[in-house]
A and B are shown apart, each in its own frame.
Chain A
């Protein structure tokens, strides 16, 4: 059992949990994820490691409440325990050493996913870390302070213009490109459509672009193939071959289709749960 030590409500549907899992915390690196299961009848879901504290033995997860499992997870409080918490999984994030000017792009709960990367790169003394974060509106912008302290520049995009540039993260990215800024690599984590658009934006300029994929998983250790994605025409398992891939090679449309595989079932499950909760 893995205890929730701290809980924060970042927005109406985004929750922040610091979970006690000392051995996972000892090993975790930026770019990796955990698979958790809340209770005996629960499903196994992957969540990106948003931060880790080796001394305190904690792993930070930040998640958006979308389906039954994430909504149920959101109802847990400090002191509650999660049944299974497996990790750290996946290949850690790694950059070429000579890369100095890094753009990190996070959308929605992709922001906490890019945070540990920003933190590590900032600490390593990279010349310039530019972070671009996007959300539908100002209220949904999360972890702003953390991002600010681990970037040289923090740029914001909101759909409604309530903060920063009105538009998408790609609008801001395109501006940087147009200004002729030095951009050695772009790292994007967020909704699949966002990552697809980022890769599309950088492709004409040959700017290396890394994305962290979020397919449906079961075991998360390479045993089932649920998370298979097409990268450069090859089938890869995102759990053990990724989750980070070359954004210019990923078949995002296939991933988006596959991620909708269980929408009907997810709706049934959620409706049933909501009825139970009301009762």
Chain B
């Protein structure tokens, strides 16, 4: 039998795509998907399923694709994951399901993520079926935050007959999927479809509602909600704490991406929100957010974008695919360097950055080799903007206003890993607010576990 190679997913030409916000990856055709599905060995003990944070029945859905039963395939995925169009795009499959794929031992793994995405998109083209819901069970649950954890929790609860209300602080739902992940990775149409689906299940999303200020968790109980799920994420941007970080032109990646993704600053003055972007931009950090910021900066007109990262390429936490896309688009990389101060002019505008070269020492707690500055290796780079993408910290508002809700020493909510149960009765938490910044799919997994635990809690109580 002739071995079928891993099928390449068509992509927009880099020269074209740096001028637009359309999705980079164009998706499989039905033919490509079926060809790729042929590669799956349908292992009796599928390791890929173990690699998936929500244990999607991967070989089963792939076999259905192979048979051309796309509808059945997507329904199979939806037994475990209700947002496949999103997960198929933003999951780090290479470190999860595909990392465990047996085909990948000798060659390239089956393109599980691309197949997931294909059937999800196929379903939207052919009309999404809203599952039949049980009659309302008369119990109400409040969810704080409409990001991946909140959404997935809401879907499971709605399917069990709960009346679910999600409270969202921003004016649009979706959390990090809306303000953080750029449309060229997750088209807004896909997100809109998924959010519409959630609302078709009867989930109510209230925007402009900052829980902690507008309603406390205690207010929500008083209003008749029997359980609360806190899924507010890790939205506080981190800065480096170096000189000149408040100069004009230094943005947190969160602010930079929010101004573009949520506020459309790149469409100024049609949209009212502005952004100050110059010719030469550095992005500090090596994760997916750094890649998103760098690629966004290029698209909105930065002449040169350089990612500066304090370790080497090998230690970059960003997905390989994202790094590859960034390189194709012309993003430059400077490894083993770290900013030590920003330099401004007399009006407070950023003009340059002093960097120091680094070398790798012994591994640290994360298992990666610790970067150590090389004394005397400082140099200066002229820049107009710096975007700081070195991570986020917990969102503090809910915790500050909820007596009895305990946090760990890093400021994240203490919650049981399996149930999301916090130190307050009836209050559950999951996603980045518990684990610190992680992935969309792990937040969704936490949302599902919490839904199950909330159901058990309410059932037992009544």
Chain A interface (Cβ < 8 Å from any Cβ of B): 23-24, 27, 32, 37, 41-44, 68-69, 83-89, 218-219, 221-226, 228-230, 235, 240, 254, 257-258, 260-262, 265-266, 268-269, 272
Contacts and interface: CB of A to CB of B under 8 A. Distances in A.
B396 A219 contact: no
A42 B269 CA distance: 10
Contacts of A261: 248, 276
Contacts of A23: 214-215
Contacts of A219: 169-170, 258
Contacts of B210: 86-87, 89, 221
Given A41-B264, A44-B263, A265 B246 contact: no
Given A225-B252, A265-B276, A84 B348 contact: no
B245 A235 contact: yes
A223 B258 contact: yes
Interface of B: 169-171, 179, 207-208, 210, 213-215, 235-237, 239, 241, 245-246, 248, 251-252, 254-255, 258-259, 263-264, 268-274, 276, 347-348, 395-397
Given A85-B208, A225-B254, A266-B274, A218 B259 contact: yes
A258 B210 CA distance: 26
**Majority-rule SS of B interface residues:** loop
B246 A254 contact: yes
Contacts of B215: 23, 27
Interface of A, helix, strand, loop or mixed by DSSP: mixed
26 contacts: A23-B214, A41-B272, A42-B271, A42-B272, A43-B274, A44-B273, A83-B171, A88-B213, A218-B273, A221-B235, A221-B397, A222-B236, A223-B237, A223-B258, A224-B237, A224-B254, A224-B255, A228-B239, A235-B246, A254-B348, A257-B248, A258-B348, A265-B268, A265-B269, A269-B272, A272-B269
B208 A240 contact: no
A221 B169 contact: yes
A265 B266 CA distance: 12
A163 B365 CA distance: 67
A44 B273 CA distance: 8
Contacts of A37: 171
Contacts of A240: 396-397
A228 B348 CA distance: 14
B348 to A, nearest CB: 4
A174 to B, nearest CB: 30
Contacts of A32: 213
Given A43-B263, A68-B272, A225-B251, 20 more contacts: A27-B215, A41-B271, A41-B272, A84-B208, A86-B171, A87-B210, A89-B210, A218-B259, A218-B263, A222-B395, A223-B179, A225-B255, A226-B255, A235-B245, A254-B246, A257-B248, A257-B348, A265-B268, A269-B268, A272-B269
A41 to B, nearest CB: 5
A254 B258 CA distance: 23
